[in-house]
């Protein structure tokens, strides 16, 4: 009787679907995708937009302490990291803009104030009223004064100062909480090179909660459950003006 010949099945040398090699390849692809996403997020933070936490009450009630803003870093000209160059932008700071800038004393600290005058303009304060080129400015809608006293210029520049001509390459900035802000009235015009960008919108806002008690998990859980009631829902996503 003739012996039956057997032939290897077609594709018998290939690995089965879902083999360890293929699973490893998919895993590597996933890791590469995650790395790209993280890299793009870091690049966007460095070059395009940046989150910023309002550090103080100096901009109340326009901005509240602890709120988080998105800062547009390209409108005024993109600052190139490390070298410190600024590429041309399509806008320059104008009166009314909320600008985020580096502290002259601590470059890693950021602050936000309102631009009230630009290069070439003359700014003067007379008993809590600010004049630009001799014209009385209109206070922003949510600005406020917390101290009814009028301080003389020889005591503090808070209420009366100047006149000051804003030099080229600078702007004059003031906090909306006029009596609780240290700004260009105290330390002079702000150089444009110190500006990081323009504040655009509020993406997170909540009333500050009490510090954690030493009791442990119960305290942390109660804070978490209370979080929705402490969010300022109407301010989430609001543009800043």
* Catalytic residue positions, numbered: 58, 113
Alpha-carbon dihedral sign for residues 150, 152, 155, 160: positive
The three-class DSSP label of residue 192 is: helix
CA-to-CA separations, 10 to 4, 18, 81, 111, in angstroms, rounded: 18, 18, 58, 70
Task: Tell me whether strands 170-174 and 190-191 are parallel, antiparallel or unpaired.
Answer: antiparallel
- 8 Å CB contact between 113 and 98: yes
DSSP state of 144: B
Instruction: Return the structure tokens found at 54.
Output: 């309002």
Cα separation, 158 vs 115, in Å, equals 16
């Amino acid at each position: 009787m003739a012996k039956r010949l057997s032939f290897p099945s077609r594709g018998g040398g290939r690995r089965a679907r879902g083999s360890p090699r293929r699973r490893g390849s998919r895993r590597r692809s996933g890791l590469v995708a995650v790395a790209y996403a993280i890299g793009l997020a870091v690049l966007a933070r460095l070059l395009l937009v940046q989150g910023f936490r309002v550090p103080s009450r100096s901009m109340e009630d326009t901005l509240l302490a602890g709120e988080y803003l998105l800062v547009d870093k390209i409108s005024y000209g993109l600052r190139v990291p490390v070298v410190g160059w600024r590429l041309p932008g399509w806008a320059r700071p104008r009166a009314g803009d909320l600008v985020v800038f580096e502290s002259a004393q601590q470059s890693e600290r950021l602050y936000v104030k309102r631009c009230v005058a630009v290069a070439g303009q003359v700014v003067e304060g007379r008993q809590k009223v600010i004049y630009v080129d001799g014209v009385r400015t209109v206070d922003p809608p949510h600005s406020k004064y917390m101290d009814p006293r009028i301080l003389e210029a020889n005591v503090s520049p808070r209420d009366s100062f100047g006149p000051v001509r804003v030099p080229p390459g600078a702007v004059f900035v003031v906090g909306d909480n006029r009596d609780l802000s240290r700004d260009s009235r105290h330390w002079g015009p702000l150089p444009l090179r110190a500006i990081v960008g323009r504040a655009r919108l509020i993406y997170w806002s909540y009333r500050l909660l009490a510090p954690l008690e030493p009791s442990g998990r119960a305290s942390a859980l109660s804070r978490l459950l209370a979080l929705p009631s402490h969010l300022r829902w109407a301010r989430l996503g609001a543009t800043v003006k």
